[in-house]
């Protein structure tokens, strides 16, 4: 189910003019589902797929999960040498039902790095 949701979100973002940079980036203690870019903007996307429409956001991406995503994103940026970019953290909630197209609820700027004030 997760792969189907990530593919749907990737297609959605490419149609919006983003370029896919990476998928399923993992480092010790963290993972990022999708990383896309457009111009100087680099977006880290957490994809959550469900078979029902109920998505209590507070339980989908907890503060602890947000911190892991942020740390992994900063490692990715450093490793890629991307210093003059704007970072954004989004969440894609994907409703998957048999015999139906995925329904994507996309939340831009779903959370921010508390260090980035």
Model pLDDT, residue 61: 85
Per residue in 14-58, pLDDT (tens digit) is: 999 999 999 999 988 899 999 999 999 999 999 998 876 666 655
Question: What's the rounded Cα separation, in Å, for the pair 63 and 113?
Answer: 11
Whichever domain contains 88, its CATH number is 3.40.1350.10
The answer as to whether 117 is a domain residue is no
pTM over 0.75, yes/no: yes
The answer as to whether 9 is a domain residue is yes
Q: State the total domains in the chain.
A: 1
Is 117 a residue whose pLDDT tops 50? no
Question: What's the rounded Cα separation, in Å, for the pair 47 and 35?
Answer: 11
The answer as to whether 29 is a domain residue is yes
Question: What's the rounded Cα separation, in Å, for the pair 103 and 115?
Answer: 33
Reduced to 3 DSSP states, what percent helix, strand and coil does the chain have, rounded to the nearest 5? 30, 40, 30
Instruction: Kindly list the strands in the beta sheet with 41-50, ordered across the sheet, starting from the edge strand earlier in the chain.
Output: 19-27, 30-38, 41-50, 86-95, 103-111
Is 10 a residue whose pLDDT tops 60? yes
């Amino acid at each position: 189910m997760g792969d189907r949701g990530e593919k749907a979100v990737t297609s959605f973002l490419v149609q919006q003019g983003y370029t896919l940079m990476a998928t399923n980036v993992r480092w010790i203690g963290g993972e990022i589902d999708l990383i896309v870019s457009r111009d100087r903007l680099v977006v880290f996307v957490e994809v959550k797929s469900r078979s029902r429409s109920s998505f209590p956001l507070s339980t989908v991406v907890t503060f602890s999960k947000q911190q892991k995503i942020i740390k992994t994103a900063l490692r990715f940026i450093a490793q890629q040498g991307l210093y003059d970019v704007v970072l954004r953290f989004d969440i894609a909630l994907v409703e998957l039902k048999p015999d139906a197209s995925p329904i994507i609820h996309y939340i831009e700027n779903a959370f921010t790095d508390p260090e980035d004030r």
